[in-house]
Structure 1
């Protein structure tokens, strides 16, 4: 079997292998890591275990005596999907980066280097690998085809793949022809936002540090629960200077985050053959297992 040359290629190949073997979703990353690497490499992943190191979500490290690799993770994490993505992220480092260094530590501290260059490329590539392994695009489209996107639907897809809501929503934004945007905020200020390709063409983007729109805060204060599957129509000037929008919101208690999913229904799909390719998981470079994977 020809070895892929990109993180996406590795993720796709392993995902196809998982599906071809008749295994159900979610992908059992631990099983895949132990069995596939043992069959294909002289320095396989020999151990996948909890590590008990505070502040480190996941690690990939080479064991000097045995010459194999260990993937370890923080078992105290209770957020559904976060451990699974952590394991896939570390496996991505194994397939794509193990020739570069003997240890990788990925945790919330990487968030501080969000826009730095030191680890951005490696973290982005590990995220891309995990995305393609856990959420293959063909199967993802089958789960949402013909249905109106909602928080409930994306939550069901997240359950299928055992991924966080944030990772699942980013995957949807990567493949959808709709104009839509994900916005993650804390303390009434935006941490980051990510638009779909169509929304990006309309310059739908809010930089980190921007205040959350006042009407969105008012809606949160009057909400009777912490998740809203109903879309709320908002006028131009709230999420975009000139476009009306539809807004849905989730509050993640564990990380004190507010996650907005915003759609721009008036924007129609336009195909741009020369449009520059973008990758949704670039927005999470350096944030591989940081707090904003909480939902």
Structure 2
């Protein structure tokens, strides 16, 4: 790789720069973190590179970034038993983000799925949010994502295609779309007939779509799950009446049943929602920060 780079100061800028570098070198999707991370850091930070990426076999820790003092370099390790397609690549991107953005702050970062939304301090939450944002911008460039969905109705199949293209999990891919879309939509994860967490798009949030953890699933959604008869993915965007997911708006609903986490993942869109005139600026939040602020001590699982 010909590395002509500056040192960005934001996770978004780092992700955009390295994604563009990967493409400029003639590589395609998915972006392979295990290839780009050692090469970039060897050339750009020769005194402090990533020297090793390996599986670690430690239960409960999705990924880890650690300083190897004997080698004067860094190691990224990951849980090789993870079976969700794309999650390992996103984990590697997340740890690469910690390296680029945070390695001067500490010598070990441990990141586990079970405590994704449970951090002891605002600082830790900020670091995890920045690492996720970097991985998102590195692996799923917005311009390419828009090209993939241009002129198409957003369905589970379309988002699944994008997940395959970028080597990321369906959840991470859907959250990326929710983050940049100008449509009203919400991603909802439920278990045992109750909502674990939800994340609305900007327009949905401004139209009052808010489904806090612990909210019972609507009866129509429960009926659909109970009648699934073993079908894991219900791709059709099924119309549902107002009062189902929002008191005033009709919606379209699709759902995936996940064996890995015993979860139902709903993609709900509100086609008739219109942008309203706003008089106050609201602070922008990415998906991780938003969900973290909604956690309120609950032990959510992704």
Task: Tell me, yes or no, whether TM beats 0.5.
Answer: yes
Contact 1:124 1:284 in 2 (8 A): no
Contact 2:115 2:301 in 1 (8 A): no
Asked whether 1:124 is paired with 2:133, we answer no
Asked whether 1:265 is paired with 2:271, we answer yes
Asked whether 1:180 is paired with 2:180, we answer no
In the alignment, the residues of structure 2 paired with residue 112 and residue 200 of structure 1 have an alpha-carbon distance, to the nearest angstrom, of 20
Q: Secondary structure of 2:122's match?
A: coil
Asked whether 1:33 is paired with 2:37, we answer yes
In the alignment, the residues of structure 1 paired with residue 6 and residue 149 of structure 2 have an alpha-carbon distance, to the nearest angstrom, of 32
Deviation at 1:2, TM superposition (A): 1.9
Q: 1:25 to 1:171 in 2, by over 3 A?
A: same
Deviation at 1:108, TM superposition (A): 2.6
Q: 1:31 to 1:272 in 2, by over 3 A?
A: farther
Any residues of structure 2 matched to 1:72-83 within 5 Å, and which?
72-83=77-88
Deviation at 1:235, TM superposition (A): 1.4
Asked whether 1:7 is paired with 2:14, we answer no
Asked whether 1:280 is paired with 2:287, we answer yes
In structure 1, the partner of 2:258 is 252
Q: Secondary structure of 2:85's match?
A: coil
Instruction: With the length of structure 2 as denominator, give the TM-score of the two structures.
Output: 0.91
Contact 1:181 1:199 in 2 (8 A): yes
Equivalent pairs, count:
290
Q: Secondary structure of 1:60's match?
A: strand
Q: Secondary structure of 1:237's match?
A: coil
Q: Which moved more, 1:261-270 or 1:97-106?
A: 261-270
Any residues of structure 2 matched to 1:87-166 within 5 Å, and which?
87-111=92-116, 113=118, 117=122, 119-166=124-171
User: Which structure 2 segments of 5+ residues have no match?
Assistant: none
Deviation at 1:267, TM superposition (A): 0.8
Aligned with 2:218 (options 213, 216, 219): 213
Deviation at 1:205, TM superposition (A): 1.4
In the alignment, the residues of structure 2 paired with residue 18 and residue 54 of structure 1 have an alpha-carbon distance, to the nearest angstrom, of 32
- Larger RCO (CA under 8 A, 6+ residues apart): 1
Deviation at 1:109, TM superposition (A): 3.6
In structure 2, the partner of 1:233 is 239
Asked whether 1:57 is paired with 2:62, we answer yes
Deviation at 1:112, TM superposition (A): 5.8
Contact 1:174 1:280 in 2 (8 A): yes
Instruction: With the length of structure 1 as denominator, give the TM-score of the two structures.
Output: 0.93
Q: 1:163 to 1:117 in 2, by over 3 A?
A: same
Contact 1:127 1:284 in 2 (8 A): no
RMSD (Å), alpha carbons: 1.9
User: Which structure 1 segments of 5+ residues have no match?
Assistant: none
Structure 1 segments of 4 or more deviating over 3 A? 269-276, 283-287
Aligned with 2:74 (options 37, 55, 69): 69
In the alignment, the residues of structure 2 paired with residue 83 and residue 166 of structure 1 have an alpha-carbon distance, to the nearest angstrom, of 13
In the alignment, the residues of structure 1 paired with residue 277 and residue 132 of structure 2 have an alpha-carbon distance, to the nearest angstrom, of 27
Contact 1:190 1:207 in 2 (8 A): yes
In the alignment, the residues of structure 1 paired with residue 283 and residue 152 of structure 2 have an alpha-carbon distance, to the nearest angstrom, of 28
